[in-house]
Structure 1
């Protein structure tokens, strides 16, 4: 916080002064505004000599009012604000801004590689030695790679990025990094070098025997150094065939899935002209001219120490207490040639690493000692998803104090925190945070551990609202959407299921391709990023056209292959798409949703004709949906929670009475399943909203707080520290799900966190960028309190509630750039900036009836203690029997419990009766 209380930022990045546009938009937040303050105007000052005033309350993505930035110049911007009272604030601290892009035609560097590599994906070093006859006034290094690279000058790393420049759709776009290296360049002989591994570029993608290298067999890299001297003269040093390369160096082999081999006997001080065997670099074929990074790079963001050490058949297993994404750093002493092998896994099975879920990803790092005292090893070109690491070959006993887990992620700013009275729910929230951290690494991936780690579009569109709450991911997702649009153009308007599209083919799949309409909408809503919405509008139109073509027009979409409600918990382990909800119903619902979102986006951006066409088609789809899937009794033909949640939350069914009937049926089927989760990827983000929008808070509470499998909290009870791919990735007996596709770090099912912030704690955007906040929290049965904090573009919002002596205390802090629409029991009003508190009477709730063997099962399931008792006794006798009874029984019936347990042995029934009586 500055003395003025003003926080100023430029475009998408707060981690760096570099921006990727000559006209960066500016945003600011006034953190010390008095209650009731509001902005009337802002004044911007550039380099102490240019001033521009902007009238009105706008504080987010304000257009750059000055001349275009010039590459390699440093600018300082300040802001001050005028309140509606006419008083100006002090000036903010200066914000340094520098243009990270090169001007037209300025990129001169050639991508260069080894002339004759001896293996596929050969790591190598490229260097250039030059004489600097005077100290430069400013030195700027630009570098890029088809692969992953670490740039150094005279052996010193030029920045703290990892796996730079990251993964993009390489045929369309390659990123370059930009760094000020003035401090590293003194007069004399200097050596610039790039240490290069294959990274994502040379990885083998695909499943089983179909796996292949998609982009290239070998990595390559490029760099250019711009030197500016005091007399105004400039010099450019750019990579090409006058640079030299070597395959020497300590990194022997490196792969994202395979892992890395480092041999310290091959360590090379390559900046020493006397070391290494060098040859002229081979210039690679022409590649796209790199573009500047617009979002945060991958960095080391945390370090964890082992919490437990155990032995395995092969070596020593270290437990880091947290499923994470990164790699190990170890310190070790030993004889020359000692070979240490480190394998990684997310879970243990029978005391050993459970590596079957990794499929063909070896996830193994090998370190070979030089024998020169204490040696430090850390991979450079790979990462792993793991909680456990098995070390074999270590000389002597493994010293856990000399081993650290280095956590990697794209270095996004945390913006969301939530806390409730339920420790399991709090752990679920932290699991969701950790899953996002691990899978927002360069691009949004499905999982970080097995031979996949791909940018599945369905996963991220489902999770986008949660992501936009937990972290400032606007620039991160805006960057990924550039690749989505490029891949979509190549596929003729169809959005591929993964971006970048290493599969090479694409077909229109509902909920996956809809990332093109959903994510720009979410970013416009949460971050007020209208510019991104404008850039995405043609993509939205093209995707909707592809959907309509696949559906045969604005009607039902039932004619193409769909993923449907992926990973419905009732689907067989080897048939993830075999859901209770018809795939055509899911596809048609998403067709309507994308048409609806396109219509709204086009109208917002002033394209009234496009908006009207999309609205007309949307109305036709909605009518077709109701005609095909809605019965006269107010049910859907797929009598499953996902179907009802889609119909209600997407607005597919009109008429209050019909919607209320659907909500009643949703509540019925939720209770029928004994308040166990019954949705897959599609229904999971929607089901709690669909319940609470119609007042079924107790059903939502029973579903959210359920701890038996399948449920959100079941993995927590099993020790999970991230969100699982399947509701039962680990079975109750501690064994790993037998399905081929089993990950313990998948964020999609964690999309429930968005509901936890919006409805449980009550912090929801009612206007772009939270300029209007909707505060309508739900004092959920079974909880004593819930509070959340969200750093929004309008400022920090804090909200929540607490039960206290028969009353509910509600509290909301509204930031300076927002107002709030408050909706509490018996109370509706609007409030401005400041801290607000209200108290309402706790409504009287019906006490659950005492339960016995002849109680209806509908009463048993509504008494959490009684239901838990029945299940506990059944499970203690036979876990499979307990699950059979739970799934076979319709828990909405008036059938007595005694009758429902007809297949249970008498002595078990007697034990249940005794426990209930007690």
Structure 2
């Protein structure tokens, strides 16, 4: 090749590269995925200094945010209603703290952001997003109400009220919570896609309320609001002993609708004794046992305008005010997600009619049926079949996990439960009239509304299936609270399970809000001495607390969430709890050695022919406890460094040295081996840096 041709080609390549680089410098950038306190357009933000996050999008590598401008206003024309603006040279785009004037309660604010990159390019303003501040205690002017008389029936009560919207509406906002669970309807329609509201929290300490924008749903003139209450975790069966009414024996509703008219005037509608209550078609509904629904007892139109209340409708009763703290939602709601049609309907060797949905999930089945009035259809739920191929429910223990539907007149009907959920792949159906076809059945998965953020695929089908199972295990056990199982008579927020899985959970999905919400319950249920219960919310005995690896949830999860999301807020919120837990261990340790208390140890360790529910583990439990004592102390030190608590850093670093020395003195033999010669012992010693350098 001649030199002129070579130089010519090199020049062309050089020119292309130059223009490619120039194009990169003049690229378009955009701002997306805007959130406030980890949530998209959240209602009921209780934080007086909310934090904003966003992502800068670019198609070119090595592009970084160099500066941002954020503005907040009282309407969508932010520039004309601005209450705060901030311009900074910073690459920060996660949890930028509001620093403007005090925000007003129960007020919607609008915000947007724009950025510049390290090449000098500027984005356009992002789409306008919003957040609404929550109610203060004095903002609540409504009353708790319950059914007429005593709330002794298993049936789910219905409460209703018609109210008059007198003028054109500018905004209409409903604030609702319940003792128990609630399903709210306006003019015959559900007001949201949320399920199991108000969620499960440590009810004796705090109760969540939800906020709904009903501006487009209310109409001028009469409107009707109807609410059905369920037992849920508040009154229903929960825990091992078959106990119910753990938090209270009376289901109740608190409702407040605030209307701002177009002329600027305001009106508030509340729950009081002008509301009416009656039982309806839900004869019973229980988290463990399932739901019984009698369509013959439906009262069509009860949740709409013009319904004629008969003698069964009695005036609601106002309850005395209580001291329970009402808080806005800080985590995602539980919603419907994937749906599945049957892959097979078959007869088992015992002659059972069983439906296989092909996926183990948590949720329920929507059933379509038509038959004579009084026909009872029963849907039992199971995760597996036995070795012979029959329906298997022994693992459910005493949980019935069964829904019953009683048909009304011979018309097409559709059923799904309201206040229960099941863990299942297989459904056994009894009493179905006529031929059962796949068209009659749809399974729907129910779990907290968490965005998937991580994925894994490989050339190995077994590894891919493992990841699939992990993700579905997370979905099924993240129904408002991180549970150990979603099907048997347990379904509790076991702390050890949560801390062991937290890092994986954060890889798979956005769980920042989910764990922020739950960790508030960990703090609330922490005992006075600083010990942490086995389960949260704690429905077991108070003495069931303080197990190594379980109670360490107090330090592990806040740190894991900080590592995953860079959220100092959760460290700040949980720091006192973290410190109290480490101080508790120190108070019961002798000479810095934690060799007391009740511990699960290497739970579910397997020994052939000697597997007593995991209690056959051979690694010394106090050795395990000492390693977690060190680990929690190290995480407390880490948090103290992030939060600038120098005195605590010095204090607990000195403690950590003594803890590790006590471990070596107690557990290491003269020849350098550990007293428990097990994989668990060595893994924990290495993972938690318990061994001396030499």
Corresponding residue SS for 2:524: helix
Matches within 5 A, 1:850-865: none
Once residues 155 and 575 of structure 1 are traced to their aligned partners in structure 2, the CA distance between those partners, rounded to angstroms, is 49
Aligned counterpart in structure 2 of residue 115 of structure 1, from 145, 148, 151: 148
Change (3 A) 1:17 1:104: closer
Change (3 A) 1:603 1:22: closer
Maintained 8 Å contact 1:110/1:239: yes
Corresponding residue SS for 1:137: strand
| Offset, 1:492 | 2.9
Aligned counterpart in structure 2 of residue 229 of structure 1, from 242, 261, 284: 261
Maintained 8 Å contact 1:7/1:92: no
Once residues 122 and 57 of structure 2 are traced to their aligned partners in structure 1, the CA distance between those partners, rounded to angstroms, is 15
Maintained 8 Å contact 1:5/1:32: no
Corresponding residue SS for 1:408: strand
Once residues 317 and 108 of structure 1 are traced to their aligned partners in structure 2, the CA distance between those partners, rounded to angstroms, is 51
Corresponding residue SS for 2:357: strand
| Offset, 1:353 | 1.8
Maintained 8 Å contact 1:121/1:217: no
Matches within 5 A, 1:177-576: 177-208=210-241, 211-247=243-279, 249-268=280-299, 269-270=301-302, 271=304, 272-276=306-310, 277-287=312-322, 288-312=324-348, 313=350, 315-349=352-386, 350-488=388-526, 490-506=527-543, 507-555=545-593, 557-570=594-607, 572-576=610-614
| Offset, 1:273 | 2.6
Maintained 8 Å contact 1:126/1:246: yes
Maintained 8 Å contact 1:168/1:174: yes
Maintained 8 Å contact 2:31/2:54: no
What residue in structure 1 maps to residue 9 of structure 2?
none
Once residues 477 and 118 of structure 2 are traced to their aligned partners in structure 1, the CA distance between those partners, rounded to angstroms, is 44
Maintained 8 Å contact 1:22/1:70: no
| Offset, 1:191 | 1.1
Once residues 622 and 169 of structure 2 are traced to their aligned partners in structure 1, the CA distance between those partners, rounded to angstroms, is 65
Matches within 5 A, 1:595-634: 595-634=633-672
Maintained 8 Å contact 1:74/1:97: yes
Q: Report the more deviating stretch, 42-51 or 455-464.
A: 42-51
Once residues 5 and 213 of structure 1 are traced to their aligned partners in structure 2, the CA distance between those partners, rounded to angstroms, is 49
What residue in structure 2 maps to residue 158 of structure 1?
191
Matches within 5 A, 1:722-761: none
Corresponding residue SS for 1:476: helix
Change (3 A) 1:235 1:314: farther
Q: Deviations over 1:85-109 (max 9, x none)?
A: 333222222213222x113401122
Once residues 450 and 538 of structure 1 are traced to their aligned partners in structure 2, the CA distance between those partners, rounded to angstroms, is 34
| Offset, 1:18 | 5.7
Maintained 8 Å contact 1:122/1:218: no
Maintained 8 Å contact 1:593/1:650: yes
Corresponding residue SS for 1:478: helix
Corresponding residue SS for 1:170: coil
Q: Deviations over 1:54-82 (max 9, x none)?
A: 22211110001333443454333111112
| Offset, 1:410 | 0.5
Q: Which runs of 5+ in 1 are unaligned?
A: 659-918
Change (3 A) 1:592 1:378: same
Q: Report the more deviating stretch, 559-568 or 595-604.
A: 595-604
Once residues 498 and 360 of structure 2 are traced to their aligned partners in structure 1, the CA distance between those partners, rounded to angstroms, is 20
| Offset, 1:121 | 4.3
Corresponding residue SS for 2:257: strand
Work out the number of aligned pairs and report it. Answer: 650
Once residues 104 and 360 of structure 1 are traced to their aligned partners in structure 2, the CA distance between those partners, rounded to angstroms, is 41
What residue in structure 1 maps to residue 119 of structure 2?
85
Once residues 553 and 204 of structure 2 are traced to their aligned partners in structure 1, the CA distance between those partners, rounded to angstroms, is 21
Change (3 A) 1:549 1:578: farther
Aligned counterpart in structure 1 of residue 688 of structure 2, from 631, 647, 650: 650
Once residues 282 and 88 of structure 1 are traced to their aligned partners in structure 2, the CA distance between those partners, rounded to angstroms, is 59
What CA RMSD, in Å, does the superposition of the two structures yield over aligned residues? 1.8
TM-score, length of structure 1 as denominator length: 0.69
Maintained 8 Å contact 1:26/1:64: yes
| Offset, 1:267 | 1.0
| Offset, 1:119 | 4.1
What residue in structure 1 maps to residue 6 of structure 2?
none
